[in-house]
Chain A
């Protein structure tokens, strides 16, 4: 595939105004699915399961099966709607979206169409550079997820060219809330960063509500980014593309930026943007054309006759409103004070999209300083190097465990970095990795003393210097001992012991 021509970003901004629109799908972490009693793989408890084991006749769309709405999913959706500042519909309806696709068991998706459960909201989003935006929310509606296809054979991993495809219906029927923004105008050069910050904000909100695991790498949170450009001074919005498969915060930003540059290059040459779905390719950092998507796409929506309208009582809505957690912005101000972070330190955390990780790590027992240090330090470094999100590398519980191991002297910072390496590749918990890799600090003085005595014996000149009061000469011995211990010793303790042994 020919690489698309791109215009320089700043040049693109000079000629065109970017307008973005974001659709975020949130998988709810209810125990069971949206319309059946099958366990929900978006709940951490059922995350790992063999294909087609979390299914009922409803998930498979077997003849005669009927959906029943999961009340908890409705309550979660209302809470989310409220947290997004939306109106909650006194009565909302499910509708069938009809299209044939093998991952869609019934060949229609139960969604909401003209009567979503929540509408007309807005979200405050803060950017790294200090600017803040109010993103207008058009609607948030409930729907069911589809199954997963694996295309076997062929080179692309796509359905075209595959020899055969496997279907896993475990995900079929996972409860989703789709949050749709109105066109976001006026972000200008901040548009890519705003897209990322918006998704991070949604993630913070659903996490604070406790209604989703919100892990992008697992598909708990998925973003489709709509981008269009219009020439400066033009009123009418340009033709948009919808980029799918954007599976990390970082990619959201990159994908929006890429589409701005790609579209600008086409428009500048007098070309036209095709309204289409585009796929984001993480590896190349590019998008490619998917199927054309026009407003004439006919899903033959009609009210789902198997379900009654959702009519939440005023009492329920008010009860859920009263139990909403603190809004993220207010919460951030409070946490910064509580943790005693400087502006810079706190910004590091927020801009890294790591507020939730740090909060949860502290909740799991780590000190604020340790939590911040590991998330914004080593984990961010590795994540950047690998082009991933830090949150994909470790869980807050694992980082808290690591901090505890350092605190108790089992690990040094250096050893801890090796442990993190193991955590990131899924070797187990920090303690398990310490055990498996034998990484613990040697805290047995006996072993240290014998290594020290050996080192002193082999360097009599150094021993003499130390005895003469030239304490800094001890460095050479400490280095030898650390080497002998393969780094698994606490240098401060070694130093103490060296001085002690030299005098004996």
Chain B
């Protein structure tokens, strides 16, 4: 029974719960059991709600029995990336500096998820303050890829992606500053969407880079992401950069799933020798499949994309250096007092020295430098100009095509530790995902198969003009259907069975 429940998609589970076939308590219990069984090996979670999740589910069941009406995902468990603040639940953003802090408020996407009747299972692991592509920069140890526990689950949102891939949760919330939703989806054979900038409120998302961050859905199917997107999306007066205009239903776009006449542009600069052979072959097979089903594939050029990573690694750290200044021990979080006491400056310095990991310090230093008087124009200023050029590349491309397509990342999941000492190699993982953040446009990654050479998942990325997120769900939903038909079942059915790792599980499940 419980093995069956965890294999259902969020949409299916929601429908069963709505029909009264399954209670939310049963669904939640099944996932908590799964977490207890496999998370000792996967380490997707930093915090598991346990019995509190059961109580939430029971309350939902009672309210439903009393006749209260709910949306399609009511009663469905959900995992929440630790970057989002959750009232009464630890929220560390993967950092020691926030260890033990219990926020007094919910992030807007969390509030909306709760209002829609979903049941938070806990908080998922991530690179510290979302800085990384592997979760290896988490202060609490890395998450392991359910396809191969020796490999990275992507990052920064590796915890949410792995939780969904390992059937510990049917869906999850993520955040994407340079690819933190899409690249983990790529390496774990799952679906992830970075909405249009301003499409989902950032209120309560612990900021990495304010002008790049976007909260989005993580799931095993395109429809599940769409259903979650419909819940968390839309205007929030608490976020000034939130878009006030109403949005079409993303779920309807998935159900439309029609690519006939759709013009898909392949970005020449992101279809190169630098990409792993199996990644490119699966990518092109997917495009051919779409073409056979009525889509038109054209090559487009985005000449400034090659500068995107460089610009990103100035803008992101610049904003981060300022955003992370608030972690000073004065009002919340870790406080380290030097031996024999000290001035407030010394306490701040000791706290930040002890509380931040090396990657965070690296980026704070980088960003502080980039914003310094005398260097601002050369670094931050130039990076903003590149940003404008990247936006223009998108604008130009979208005059001729409806969506763009790229491989989501250059390689399949690499080994844990492989790039830990080579920050530049790590940064280049996001070469295909970063342009969307710089331009504020939406992107989706969905699985297109396994790379022949290593048997690991490969994802395709579609990008659409700002506010045209629905196009991604349409093309993503269509491709997913075609692939399922070809494969005869979900790709994740081919992932290894993790239940043998029960041996490693503790009673509480996580940490």
Contacts and interface: CB of A to CB of B under 8 A. Distances in A.
Interface string A145-167: 00000000000000100000101
B103 A62 contact: yes
Nearest to A99: B325
Interface in A241-291: none
A64 B326 CA distance: 11
A contact face: mostly helix, strand, loop, or mixed: loop
Interface string B189-230: 000000000000011111101110000000000000000000
Contacts of A98: 321-322, 325, 371
Contacts of A69: 240
B368 A300 contact: yes
A108 B98 CA distance: 19
Classify chain A: how many residues form its interface, as a range.
Answer: 20 to 34
Interface in A86-126: 96, 98, 100, 102, 105-108
B238 A62 contact: no
A33 B308 CA distance: 38
Interface string B235-248: 00111110000000
Interface in B300-324: 318-319, 321-322
Contacts of A100: 325, 328, 345, 348
A105 B331 contact: yes
A64 B344 contact: no
Given A66-B240, A68-B238, A300-B371, 10 more contacts: A61-B326, A63-B207, A63-B332, A64-B107, A64-B204, A64-B205, A96-B322, A105-B331, A108-B325, A300-B376
Contact of B203 (A66, A300, A301, A302): A66
Contacts of B107: 64
Contact of A107 (B204, B319, B328): B328
A63 B344 contact: no
The residue in B107, B207, B237 that gathers the most chain A C-beta atoms within 10 A of its C-beta is: B207
A306 B85 CA distance: 17
A180 interface: no
A1 interface: no
A300 B322 contact: yes
Contact of B241 (A62, A65, A105, A308): A308
Contacts, number: 101
A238 interface: no
Interface string A26-57: 00000000000000000000000000000001
Interface of A: 57, 60-69, 96, 98, 100, 102, 105-108, 159, 165, 167, 296, 298, 300-302, 305-308
A102 B329 CA distance: 10
B323 to A, nearest CB: 8
Contacts of A107: 325-326, 328
Contacts of A105: 326, 331
Contacts of B240: 66-69, 306-308
B103 A63 contact: yes
A61 B206 CA distance: 11
Given A100-B345, A102-B328, A308-B241, A64 B203 contact: yes
Contacts of B325: 98, 100, 106-108
Given A100-B325, A100-B345, A65 B203 contact: yes
Nearest to B207: A64
Contacts of B205: 64
B383 to A, nearest CB: 11
Contacts of A65: 203-204
Interface in B317-374: 318-319, 321-322, 325-328, 330-332, 344-345, 348, 368, 371-373
B368 A63 contact: no
Interface of B: 84-85, 91, 93, 98, 101, 103-105, 107, 202-207, 209-211, 237-241, 318-319, 321-322, 325-328, 330-332, 344-345, 348, 368, 371-373, 376, 380
A165 B344 contact: yes
B205 to A, nearest CB: 6
Nearest to B93: A63
Contact of B372 (A106, A165, A298): A298
Contacts of B101: 63
A305 B238 contact: no
The residue in B241, B325, B327 that gathers the most chain A C-beta atoms within 10 A of its C-beta is: B325
Contacts of B237: 68
A57 B326 CA distance: 12
B341 to A, nearest CB: 9
Contacts of B93: 63
7 contacts: A57-B104, A62-B331, A64-B84, A100-B325, A300-B321, A302-B319, A305-B319
A254 to B, nearest CB: 32
Nearest to B328: A107
A154 B331 CA distance: 23
Contacts of A64: 84-85, 91, 103, 105, 107, 203-207
Nearest to A57: B105
Contacts of A308: 240-241
Contacts of B344: 102, 159, 165
A496 B307 CA distance: 99
Contacts of B332: 60, 62-63
A159 B373 CA distance: 28
A43 B325 CA distance: 30
Q: Which 7 A-B pairs have the closest CB atoms?
A: A107-B325, A305-B210, A300-B371, A305-B211, A64-B204, A64-B85, A63-B206
The residue in B91, B326, B345 that gathers the most chain A C-beta atoms within 10 A of its C-beta is: B326
A363 to B, nearest CB: 38
Contacts of A298: 372-373
Contacts of A302: 318-319, 322, 371, 376, 380
A302 B368 CA distance: 11
Contacts of B98: 63
B210 A102 contact: no
Contacts of A57: 104-105
Nearest to B92: A63
A108 B91 contact: no
A67 B241 CA distance: 10
Contacts of B241: 305-308
B239 A63 contact: no
A66 B323 CA distance: 11
A296 B374 CA distance: 10
A108 to B, nearest CB: 5
A346 B237 CA distance: 50
B493 to A, nearest CB: 37
A102 to B, nearest CB: 5
Contact of B331 (A61, A67, A68, A307): A61
The residue in A61, A63, A100, A298 that gathers the most chain B C-beta atoms within 10 A of its C-beta is: A63
Nearest to A56: B105
A24 to B, nearest CB: 26
Nearest to B348: A100
B343 to A, nearest CB: 8
A57 B91 CA distance: 15
Contacts of B328: 100, 102, 107
Nearest to A304: B210
Contacts of B318: 302
A256 B55 CA distance: 67
Nearest to B384: A303
A167 B330 contact: yes
B352 to A, nearest CB: 10
A96 B239 CA distance: 17
Nearest to A58: B238
Given A57-B104, A296-B373, A300-B372, A66 B85 contact: no
A165 B91 CA distance: 28
Contacts of A296: 373
A159 B345 CA distance: 11
A167 B329 CA distance: 13
The residue in A65, A96, A108 that gathers the most chain B C-beta atoms within 10 A of its C-beta is: A65
The residue in B207, B344, B368 that gathers the most chain A C-beta atoms within 10 A of its C-beta is: B344
Nearest to B333: A63
Contacts of A305: 209-211, 241, 319
